[in-house]
Amino acid sequence: MLKLYNTLSKSKEEFKPIHKGKVSIYTCGPTVYDFAHIGNLRAYTAADVLRRYLEYSGYEVRQIKNITDVGHLTADDIAQADTGEDKMVKAVRREKKTPEEIANFYTEAFHRDEDAMNILRSHFFPKATAHIPQMIKMIQTLIEKGHAYEKNGNVFYDVTSFKDYGKLSGNTLDNLKVGARLEEHPDKLHPWDFALWLKAPADHILQWDSPWSRGYPGWHIECSAMSIEYLGDTLDIHTGGEDHIFPHHEAEIAQSEGATGKKFSNFWLHNRFLLVNGEKMSKSKGNFYILKDIIDKGFDPMHLRLFYLSSHYRKQADFSWPALEQAKANFERIAEWRNKLQEIAKSGDSISTMEIESPGIAEFQAALDDDLNTPLALSHLYELITETNKRISENKLSAEEIKEILATFEKMNKVFGLRFSEKETEIPKEIKKIAEDRLTARGKKDFQKSDEMRKEIEKMGFEIEDLDEKYKIRRK
Ligand code: AMP
Ligand code: ZN
């Protein structure tokens, strides 16, 4: 029985989907004004493990991850997030590109990062800019229902109109009164009201017509509008990092429940932060690494993935290079073990048979059933490795048993999502030749030829991943 910690009830609850056998997940996605840092990737990996385990458990999952290409605002520590300079606008100025170019570039970079991390692609990545009409419609409903008001072309959510405000974060209006830091806006009725629509100054680069003004939406409304558009009024699970609990997710609940009158999400899962030297990794503090930094230091994204899996998503994790080295060593141990088993299984060598104890799948499941306890699940894998290595050295395992252990591992790995590069010898020479020629073509920026060669490789049953001045080939 799967139990998940629900931020809403502040307890572990048995997971039950709304529709039998199906699960809807909404994951707050990136603001595409810069590269994702590895703290963000921890959040997306945590959501990926959730999805993988639900699929492993037999559910059909539909996951939506939004792309924020409107931009929310740089004052990300300011609780209401509706003042300050727009992140997209800042990037436009920095890179001298159009907002669309910025968004496209960083959306592609985000997909590449997720692919490199072996994060399963969400079923859809709706863009905020393509859903302005849905947001406007929802804002209109909120005004009609008395949850929002317009002043001077700006529209705000009236937090006093929603009796459950604070139910997710504990930031009820009474609690908020005490010593909270916030930005005033002259048109707000109450300091904790938040923006649904803001009138744009004439030179604001992203603006749309609306019944209230030419302007742009607040950050929170996009997730409410898009999750309802693609997953219906009530979700099974909403995920995000702990900093999104307030104000973002509290605001999403107020908007969605205010508009539909129904519960917005049954489960709220929040990962805790990735830290560096005890501090939250964040863009604004400048203490962050992106995936390229990790690769440039000679690590594989799978080392980072194993580093993430080695701590529970609901505990803070401290990033350091020695910790990543440790994850690398563990990854190599798993990879070598897997290779060895594959070789024995193929050769059919080892003869003497002896019953192997349960290869640990029940313990593995029990660990994940307990709020996705990946470190515990991994420890069962490490036990399996130690045990099989011992028995192999004693020549006590048959090829058949080894095959069974391998199958168990591949099953577990559907959830861990570790990707192993095929051994060089297993990539046919003709494929390697095309890959080398393709690298040369890419170097000459002959992308048409390089695309043709990629297709050729794919036709032969392999896939190729581009890395900086390198590539990786694996069997499809
Ligand atoms: P943002 O682009 O700021 O909206 O962040 C994208 C996702 O990463 C959100 O779910 C955040 O909560 C999450 N996040 C941001 N910083 C960290 C961090 N240091 N550790 C873990 N998750 C984070
Ligand atoms: Zn969101």
Q: Average pLDDT for residues 409-432, to the nearest whole number?
A: 85
User: Strand 154-157 and strand 148-151: pairing?
Assistant: antiparallel
Judged against a pLDDT cut of 80, whether residue 169 lies above it is answered with yes
pTM over 0.85: yes
Angle at 362 between CA 360 and CA 368, to 5 degrees: 105
How high is the pLDDT of residue 294?
Answer: 98
Token pair in block for residue 469: 């001045």
Domain coordinates of the chain in residue numbers? 3-271, 279-416, 429-475
Q: Average pLDDT for residues 37-43, to the nearest whole number?
A: 98
Which CATH number applies to 279-416?
A: 1.10.730.10
How high is the pLDDT of residue 295?
Answer: 97
Q: Average pLDDT for residues 132-144, to the nearest whole number?
A: 98
Ligand 1, closest atom to CA 288?
Answer: 19
Ligand lying nearest the CA atom of residue 222: 2
How high is the pLDDT of residue 79?
Answer: 37
What region does 461 belong to: left with phi over 0, alpha with psi -120 to 50, or beta? left
Question: Which residues, other chains included, contact 421 with Cβ-Cβ below 8 Å and sequence gap of 6+?
Answer: 472, 473, 474
pLDDT band at 205 (very low <50, low <70, confident <90, very high): confident
**274 close to ligand 1 (CB < 6 Angstrom):** yes
CB-side neighbour CA atoms (13 Å) of 12 = 11
Angle at 235 between CA 281 and CA 167, to 5 degrees: 65
374-393 and 361-369 are packed helices; what angle lies between their axes, rounded to 10 degrees?
A: 170
CA–CA separation, 473 and 465 (whole Å)? 6
CA–CA separation, 196 and 213 (whole Å)? 12
When mean pLDDT is compared across 123-127, 164-168, 455-459, the lowest value belongs to: 455-459
Q: Average pLDDT for residues 387-397, to the nearest whole number?
A: 89
How high is the pLDDT of residue 283?
Answer: 86
Ligand 1, closest atom to CA 40?
Answer: 8
**470 Cα distance to chain centroid:** 26
**242 Cα distance to chain centroid:** 13
pLDDT band at 90 (very low <50, low <70, confident <90, very high): confident
Judged against a pLDDT cut of 60, whether residue 80 lies above it is answered with no
**415 Cα distance to chain centroid:** 15
Judged against a pLDDT cut of 90, whether residue 333 lies above it is answered with yes
CA–CA separation, 61 and 212 (whole Å)? 38
Q: Are 118 and 103 in contact (CB under 8 A)?
A: no
For the chain, how are helix, strand and coil distributed in percent, rounded to 5? 45, 15, 35
How high is the pLDDT of residue 228?
Answer: 98
**281 close to ligand 1 (CB < 6 Angstrom):** yes
Which CATH number applies to 3-271?
A: 3.40.50.620
243, 272, 279, best to mutate for ligand 1 pocket (most atoms within 8 Å of CB):
243
Placement of tokens 């048993």 in the chain: 401
Round the average pLDDT of the chain to a whole number and report it.
90
Q: pLDDT (tens digit, 9 = 90+) per residue, 336-365?
A: 999 999 988 887 655 445 455 557 899 999
Question: Which residues, other chains included, contact 138 with Cβ-Cβ below 8 Å and sequence gap of 6+?
Answer: 221, 224, 225, 228, 255, 259
